[in-house]
């Protein structure tokens, strides 16, 4: 029986280096003649440049009803995308599905990024109910490194998010924590080895 291609999800706070690492991974797998599909936030394809990504931490959250409506819409949209698009691609031997910021887990930990004003229990429930990745890779770095890379979020908020992401990683099956406080090559090699276990 042919083994399906894996869905690899990446987690971590702002400033941890996810986009840079994923770009490097795509180059690595392309050179190895392994094609991939990149999922970033709500849309397919490449992420927008960092300067075009609007952070909403300084904006008020949406109303309760709008927040709940949006998250439910996203949940059913993800179900359709997963079962009618990505699951078909995952049946191919030479393809990877790389997902940056799994939407519901990311919203549960950082609701202000999405201006979510609904109940947190709903987001956590949907996060567990949604189709899960084959493996989760959480990128982590010391708080002083994160602050040097990203200053849009306060130190206190970064500390909270970092703790929450580590706790989430400990609770998820097939989860790995990779330190980005090392060279890009070292991080890429470590992540490539984790992913390679699904490609053998």
The domain limits of the chain are: 7-196
pLDDT of residue 14: 83
- CA neighbor of 26 nearest in space, from 43, 41, 47: 47
Q: Please indicate whether residue 15 or residue 95 has the higher confidence score (pLDDT).
A: 15
Strands 95-100 and 7-11: parallel
Q: Please indicate whether residue 143 or residue 53 has the higher confidence score (pLDDT).
A: 143
Per-residue b or e along 36-57, where b marks 16 or more CB atoms closer than 10 Å to that residue's CB: bbbbbeeeeeebeeeeeeeeee
pLDDT at 163 over 70: yes
pLDDT of residue 58: 72
* Average pLDDT score, the chain: 84
175-179 sheet: strands from edge to edge: 43-44, 35-40, 95-100, 7-11, 135-140, 175-179
Distance CA 1, CA 16 (A): 38
Hey, which of 30-39, 44-53, 65-74, 100-109 has the most confident mean pLDDT? 65-74
- Could you tell me the CATH superfamily of domain 7-196? P-loop containing nucleotide triphosphate hydrolases (3.40.50.300)
pLDDT at 123 over 90: yes
Handedness of CA 164, 173, 78, 102 (dihedral sign): positive
Model pTM greater than 0.75? yes
pLDDT of residue 66: 97
Which of 43-52, 87-96, 150-159 shows the lowest mean pLDDT across its residues? Answer: 43-52
């Amino acid at each position: 029986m042919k083994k399906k291609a894996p869905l690899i999800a990446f987690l971590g706070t702002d400033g941890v280096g996810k986009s840079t690492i994923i770009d490097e991974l795509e180059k690595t797998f392309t050179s190895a003649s392994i094609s991939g599909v990149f999922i970033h936030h709500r849309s397919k394809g490449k992420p927008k440049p960092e300067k075009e990504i609007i952070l909403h931490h300084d904006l008020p959250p949406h109303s309760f009803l709008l927040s709940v409506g949006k998250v439910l819409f996203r949940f059913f949209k993800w179900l359709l995308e997963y079962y009618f698009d990505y699951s078909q691609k995952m049946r191919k031997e030479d393809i990877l599905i790389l997902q940056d910021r799994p939407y519901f887990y990311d919203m549960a930990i950082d609701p202000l990024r999405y201006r979510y004003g609904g109940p947190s229990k709903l987001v956590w429930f949907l996060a567990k109910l949604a189709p899960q990745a084959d493996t989760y890779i959480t990128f982590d770095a010391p708080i002083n490194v994160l602050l040097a890379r990203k200053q849009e979020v306060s130190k206190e908020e970064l500390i909270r998010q970092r703790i929450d992401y580590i706790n989430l990683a400990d609770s998820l099956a097939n989860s790995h924590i990779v330190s980005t406080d090392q060279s890009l090559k070292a991080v890429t090699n470590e992540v490539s080895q984790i992913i390679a276990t699904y490609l053998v």
